[in-house]
Structure 1
Amino acid sequence: MAEKLLEIQNLKQHFPSSKGTVKAVDGITFDIYKGETLGLVGESGCGKSTTGRSIIRLYNATDGKVLYEGNDVHDKKSRSELLQFNRKMQMIFQDPYASLNPRMTVGDIIAEGIDIHGLAKNRKDRMERVYSLLNTVGLNREHANRYPHEFSGGQRQRIGIARALAVEPEFIIADEPISALDVSIQAQVVNLLKKLQRERGLTYLFIAHDLSMVKYISDRIAVMYFGKIVELATSEELYRNPIHPYTKALLSAIPLPDPDFERKRVRQSYDVTVHDYTNETPSLQEVADGHFVYCSESELIQYQKDYYKS
């Protein structure tokens, strides 16, 4: 059995608004195991990025727990505790244009974490670390003296990856790291992430809305809808046997490189009224081994019948 690295327990992230409370993340529970990639997918506004930002403490959680190696992330208060936590967990942001300081050289951007954590013995060691990181992500040492505006989107995202790697983390949250990139560049960045995972034993939470790319990189996939995890299974299992109607609708929208098939295909829509939770409270339940679905008790019985009949 793989070792649990991260445990999310009933995590809630609510924000006040003029119309009441926005429940961006509304009581989600899941685990991430050491060395795996968990893909988190769903439509824009479903709470994916808020989940990532709450895990890494960019937001203070409204309720629930985030346990990293058994320790509650949101209980850490002292500077030394926060520094130690920040070394273990890093984030790659969605927008490679906005996430890099335009007034800093690439070398200083990458070395920022090295400086904060005092990882370099001297200036020479600092720059050698920067050069090594640039090489790791497919850039070269001459790029250290340049500024972000001199690079393409794909190169900027590589700089963001190098910055995240600089403090030698164990866990990385990749928040839609390829959505702002050209399709031709997306595969390169994903392949780089997979290579780094193999070489460094990294664990990823990979947040995205591109289901085909998520399947390629993820060991397991969690599907999110309006602040809830509605389905969680291995990548192959989720694509082969989707159970929740929302997951089925998402998968039916993935285009295939077959014009004849695409012309005839009927895409499914998701109607939330198919669920009657008037007398039953839904929760994330295990329909099959390792395959969880957000459902009521009566839905669970029906889902299991359908699953084992197929």
Structure 2
Amino acid sequence: MAEKLIEVVNLKQHFHMDKNNIVKAVDGISFDIYRGETLGLVGESGCGKSTTGRTIIRLYPATEGQVLYEGENVHGRKSRSALKKFNRKMQMIFQDPYASLNPRMKVGDIIAEGIDIHGLAKNREERTAKVHELLNKVGLHRDYAGRYPHEASGGQRQRIGIARALAVDPEFIIADEPISALDVSIQAQIVNLMKKLQRENNLTYLFIAHDLSMVKYISDRIGVMYYGKLVELAPADELYNNPLHPYTRSLLSAIPVPDPDAERARRRKLYDPTIHQYTVLEQPQMHEVTPGHFVYCSERELEQYTSRMAMARVGG
């Protein structure tokens, strides 16, 4: 059985805008991430997926709930040395390669920040060698070490960001919409690079995005978020072939089809949240409809989903 690397348990991230206004960006979600896998997290803008990633890595303190890394509470009290050790294990690749790199620093120094902080090079020659090795790993020539970020294209800057994340030999990387700011022609290159690096370095990814077709390509399992809630979680193929939650079905119906006739015939399924009317005694929760396929629903809806899956299995 696969080993759990990350356990997210009833995680909440609420922002108090003023006395009467609380934004529940993440509102009680639970899921696991297994060592060596890529878990995709999708949803429309503002659904809480990026906040989830930032809370997992401690950029935000959790309002409630737990994030366990190898059984240890990420948000628990830690000494300076313990926190430093933890920070080596978890790294983040940010959405905007333009804003995430210091324009006043040379690329070599940006990549070497983690090496310097954690003392991973004995001398300047070893530091330089490590930077050149990292540049080579992400498909850039060593000459980039002497350049500034503005001298690189968007795709090259994202490769620099990936090299910076790899510099401390992490086990787990959160990729927060790493391709959304890139040209379509470059997106596939970055995703293929990430898959290659995952194989070579035994990495585990949380891949956050809104492009469902690209998420399916890179992910082993996919979680779907809607306004702070995780509404569905399943293996990638299962989610695409047998979506259950109406919001998931709506997202999938919006994916363009690479066929002009089929695209003209495609009809978008709009999601209406008012269809979920629950009584006080009928509160929804995550249910496992089939092995590994979880849906946020009531007991009544669970019966409907179970019946639908049974019919799909017979029909398939």
Normalised by the shorter chain, which TM-score bucket? over 0.9
Aligned-residue offset at 1:77: 2.4
Q: Which residue of 2 aligns with 1:11?
A: 11
Q: What one-letter code is carried by the residue in structure 1 that aligns with 2:276? A: H
2:61 matches 1:60: yes
Which runs of structure 2 are paired with 1:134-149 in the superposition (5 Å)?
134-149=135-150
Which runs of structure 2 are paired with 1:113-128 in the superposition (5 Å)?
113-128=114-129
The C-alpha deviation readout for 1:3-26, integer Å capped at 9, x for no partner, is: 000000000000011451000000
Give distance in 2, aligned partners of 1:184 and 1:301.
44
Structure 1 residue runs of 5 or longer lacking an equivalent are none
The 4+ residue runs of structure 1 with deviation greater than 6 A are: none
Q: Which residue of 1 aligns with 2:207?
A: 206
Number of aligned residue pairs: 310
Give distance in 2, aligned partners of 1:82 and 1:304.
44
Aligned-residue offset at 1:307: 1.1
The C-alpha deviation readout for 1:58-80, integer Å capped at 9, x for no partner, is: 00000000000000000042111
State the SS of the aligned residue for 1:57: coil
Moved more, 270-279 or 246-255: 270-279
State the SS of the aligned residue for 1:75: coil
Q: What one-letter code is carried by the residue in structure 1 that aligns with 2:181? A: A
The C-alpha deviation readout for 1:199-244, integer Å capped at 9, x for no partner, is: 1100000000000000000000000000000000000000000000
Give distance in 1, aligned partners of 2:85 and 2:6.
16
Percent of aligned pairs with the same residue?
A: 75
Give distance in 2, aligned partners of 1:277 and 1:128.
60
Q: Which residue of 1 aligns with 2:180?
A: 179
The C-alpha deviation readout for 1:110-132, integer Å capped at 9, x for no partner, is: 00000000110111101100000
Task: Pick one of 297, 300, 315 that aligns with 1:298.
Answer: 300
Give distance in 1, aligned partners of 2:263 and 2:97.
33
Give distance in 1, aligned partners of 2:82 and 2:174.
19
Q: What one-letter code is carried by the residue in structure 2 that aligns with 1:37? A: T
State the SS of the aligned residue for 1:133: helix
Give distance in 2, aligned partners of 1:272 and 1:261.
28
Structure 2 residue runs of 5 or longer lacking an equivalent are none
**How high is the TM-score relative to the length of structure 2?**
0.97
Which runs of structure 2 are paired with 1:77-96 in the superposition (5 Å)?
77-96=78-97
State the SS of the aligned residue for 1:74: coil
C-alpha RMSD of matched pairs (Å): 0.7
Moved more, 16-25 or 105-114: 16-25
**How high is the TM-score relative to the length of structure 1?**
0.99
State the SS of the aligned residue for 2:46: coil
Give distance in 1, aligned partners of 2:115 and 2:13.
31
Give distance in 2, aligned partners of 1:187 and 1:264.
27
State the SS of the aligned residue for 1:164: helix
Give distance in 1, aligned partners of 2:202 and 2:274.
43
Q: What one-letter code is carried by the residue in structure 1 that aligns with 2:301? A: E
Q: Which residue of 2 aligns with 1:71?
A: 72
Q: Which residue of 2 aligns with 1:37?
A: 38
